[in-house]
């Protein structure tokens, strides 16, 4: 094989592997989303600063906050919200 043919074969193989990885990531993300949204319990994740990163529907009802508000900087530990959950 010539150098160009080897490079093309290598590139094709790399693109195929990346495509497979992308599909697997998509399937995994959709599976997680299905589990989180179908749960009967509140599920939420927060970062180190207690900013909400993920709310499922039950958590939205429990805390009175949408997942969009969470992504916009809602904080579970903020003084204005603590009285709402206590």
Q: What is the pLDDT of residue 28?
A: 94
**Strand pairing category for 44-46 and 52-55:** antiparallel
Tokens of 24: 């697997």
User: Which pLDDT does position 71 carry in this prediction?
Assistant: 61
Alpha carbon distance 40, 24 (integer Å):
26
Phi and psi dihedrals of 7, rounded to 5?
A: -65, -45
Same domain flag for 31 and 49 = no
pLDDT in tens, 4-63: 777 777 778 878 888 888 889 999 999 999 999 899 998 888 888 777 788 888 888 887
The pLDDT, as a whole number, for residue 41 is 94
7 and 21, same domain (yes or no): yes
How many domains, in total, are found in the chain?
Answer: 2
Same domain as 72, residue 55: yes
pLDDT the model gives residue 82:
45
Structural domain containing residue 62: 40-86
Report the Cα 65 to chain-centroid distance in Å: 18
Please report where in the chains the tokens 């900087």 appear, as a residue.
73
């Amino acid at each position: 094989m010539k150098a160009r043919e080897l490079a093309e074969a290598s590139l094709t193989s790399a693109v195929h592997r990346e495509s497979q990885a992308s599909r697997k990531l998509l399937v995994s993300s959709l599976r997680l989303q299905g589990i989180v949204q179908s749960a009967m319990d509140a599920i939420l994740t927060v970062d180190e600063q207690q900013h909400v990163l993920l709310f499922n529907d039950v958590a939205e009802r429990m805390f009175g906050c949408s997942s969009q508000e969470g992504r916009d900087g809602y904080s579970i530990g903020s003084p204005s919200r603590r009285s709402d959950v206590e």
